[in-house]
Amino acid sequence: MAACGGIDLHQEHGQRAVFCGLTGIVWLHRKIQDAFFLVVGSRTCAHLIQSAAGVMIFAEPRFATAIIDERDLAGIADANEELDRVVTRLIERRPDIKLLFLVGSCPSEVIKLDLSRAAQRLSGRLAPVRVLNYSGSGIETTFTQGEDACLAALVPELPRAPAEEAPALLIVGALADVVEDQFLRILSAMGIADVRFLPARRAGAMPAVGRNTRYLLAQPFLADTARALDERGARRLAAPFPLGAEGTTGWLRAAAEAFGIDDATFAAATAAGRARAETALAPHRDKLGGKRVFFFPDSQLEVPLARFLARELGVALVEVGTPYLHRAHLAAEIEWLPAGTRVTEGQSLDDQMDRCRAARPDLTVCGLGLANPLEAEGLSTKWSIELLFTPVQGYEQAGDLAELFARPLRRRALLEV
Ligand code: SF4
């Protein structure tokens, strides 16, 4: 146990129950519209992404799995040759692909397939198509780290912003297009004209980054990406995350302060959105106020979500589990958590299940694998992965974010009636 900004911080090690980083492909393939994600993995990996993103039946899919079979595992076949053949055929058949990610998995790590060399080799052969690689393996990672690894792989490829360029704002983390557009409108109303996004919507439009880049993280799970941007000379703006009215205001204020925007301009640009968010949140406060919520560690969004629920909706936090607690990136969030909040970093699944069962919270936020057993025991649950698939950031989505937590309670109340 340790003290950290007034919270009651515990660290646990043991069995974990989380999805792997391949899951990120489900939202990343929608975001970068001319990219393709080729998982180099097993049938299990293929099943995972096919069922997680099983909506692709009628479209040309933008992800697939190159299956490592028994011959590859036994070292009989040359996995590199097979990979080259699969990739070449894919690019010939799909000229719309401009950026190809080779996504590593547990099996590709086990047979030590060097995907970074494969990506270099294939980039040379298939130019102008860029081939990059990252790992989505489930060995010691959580599902949102797939996005972090993907964006970190993009950073060395980004154009270098010239040293004499005026400061630009970079927003880092995959956001729904509609959310990006809303932020662009507010930032432009403040007078910040040069706003870039990582990832961009198209491979050829990735943002230039240099010493004059100031960046805001839109997601709390981007430690490796932030490190790569820092190495490029960009500077992170310390901020809370844009969840709820308060978080969004704090996040936008960090940009305003970095770009010298005065208070009156900031207030004028944000007042309407903030008022709409507060109006949308009010009815949820009646339903969620005083409810006891327990977070299992899963998405790494837990700390900002807990802060939002506690401060804007009056929720009582029983325990806030998170796979990792990035002290620097989450500093503003930790400060905003109610004093004494129990935060657990890491996981010992059985111990945490015992604590959850003993506390019998009104709502448990957890991964899909835990939700069914807990529901069967009469506990209401919310799938944390839904918070990644749904646009939840910004003023206009604050009400929808609250609704995601209110819905399971309503459902349980109906079932009980
Ligand atoms: Fe399973 Fe590993 Fe494949 Fe993920 S990468 S689906 S954890 S085998």
Class (C level, CATH) for 168-268: alpha beta
Q: What is the mean pLDDT of residues 262-275?
A: 98
Identity of the residue numbered 399: G
pLDDT at 57: 46
Instruction: Name the band, by pLDDT with cuts 50, 70 and 90, for residue 59.
Output: low
Q: Which fold has domain 2-15+274-416?
A: Rossmann fold (3.40.50)
Ligand 1 pocket: which of 25, 40, 105, 142 to mutate (most atoms <8 Å of CB)? 105
Q: For residue 58, is pLDDT > 50?
A: no
User: Per-residue pLDDT tens for 132-143?
Assistant: 999 999 876 788
In short, whether 138's Cβ falls inside 6 Å of ligand 1 is yes
Of 57-66, 167-176, 284-293, which gets the smallest average pLDDT? 57-66
Atom 7 of ligand 1: nearest residue by CA position: 138
**For residue 391, cis peptide bond before it (omega within 30 degrees of 0):** no
Query: Residue for token digits 């507060």?
Result: 278
Query: Which range scores top for mean pLDDT: 112-121, 131-140, 177-186, 404-413?
Result: 177-186
- Number of helical H runs and strand E runs in the chain: 17, 15
Domain ranges across the chain: 2-15+274-416, 21-141, 168-268
Tell me: is residue 106 an annotated ligand-binding position: yes
Q: For residue 198, is pLDDT > 50?
A: yes
Residue-by-residue DSSP string for 210-263: -TTEEEEESSTT-HHHHHHHHHTT-EEPP---SBHHHHHHHHHHHHHHHTT--H
Atom 1 of ligand 1: nearest residue by CA position: 45
Of 65-79, 226-240, 352-366, which gets the smallest average pLDDT? 65-79
Ligand 1 pocket: which of 44, 145, 385 to mutate (most atoms <8 Å of CB)? 44
Instruction: Name the band, by pLDDT with cuts 50, 70 and 90, for residue 417.
Output: low
CA neighbor of 364 nearest in space, from 313, 315, 307: 315
Give the helix/strand (H/E) hosting 110.
helix 106-110
Alpha-carbon distance of 4 to 327, in angstroms, equals 8
Atom 8 of ligand 1: nearest residue by CA position: 106
Q: What is the 295 CA–ligand 1 centroid distance (Å)?
A: 24
pLDDT at 67: 77
Tell me what the pLDDT averaged over the chain comes to.
Answer: 92
Domains 2-15+274-416 and 21-141 share a fold: yes
Instruction: Name the band, by pLDDT with cuts 50, 70 and 90, for residue 369.
Output: confident
Alpha-carbon distance of 336 to 330, in angstroms, equals 10
Alpha-carbon distance of 82 to 197, in angstroms, equals 35
Tell me: is residue 45 an annotated ligand-binding position: yes
The complex scores an ipTM of 0.99
Alpha-carbon distance of 212 to 217, in angstroms, equals 16
Q: For residue 288, is pLDDT > 90?
A: yes
In short, whether 22's Cβ falls inside 6 Å of ligand 1 is yes
263: its two tokens: 């208070």
- What is 21-141's CATH superfamily? Nitrogenase molybdenum iron protein domain (3.40.50.1980)
Q: What is the 158 CA–ligand 1 centroid distance (Å)?
A: 29
Instruction: Name the band, by pLDDT with cuts 50, 70 and 90, for residue 203.
Output: very high
Alpha-carbon distance of 395 to 182, in angstroms, equals 9
Instruction: Name the band, by pLDDT with cuts 50, 70 and 90, for residue 321.
Output: very high
Is 288 strand, coil or helix?
Answer: helix
CA neighbor of 28 nearest in space, from 51, 3, 49, 58: 49
CB 231 within 8 A of CB 210: no
Tell me: is residue 366 an annotated ligand-binding position: no
Instruction: Name the band, by pLDDT with cuts 50, 70 and 90, for residue 1.
Output: low
In short, whether 48's Cβ falls inside 6 Å of ligand 1 is yes
- Of residues 4 and 256, the one with the higher pLDDT is 256
Beta strands in 349-398 (DSSP E): 363-366, 381-383
Q: Provide, rounded to the nearest whole percent, the portion of the chain with pLDDT above 90.
A: 76
**For residue 95, cis peptide bond before it (omega within 30 degrees of 0):** no
CB 336 within 8 A of CB 307: yes
- Of residues 78 and 181, the one with the higher pLDDT is 181
Identity of the residue numbered 27: W
- In the DSSP assignment, the letter for residue 291 is -
In short, whether 50's Cβ falls inside 6 Å of ligand 1 is no
Rounded-to-5 percentages of helix, strand, coil across the chain: 50, 20, 35
Q: For residue 208, is pLDDT > 70?
A: yes
Q: What is the 23 CA–ligand 1 centroid distance (Å)?
A: 10
Alpha-carbon distance of 13 to 2, in angstroms, equals 15
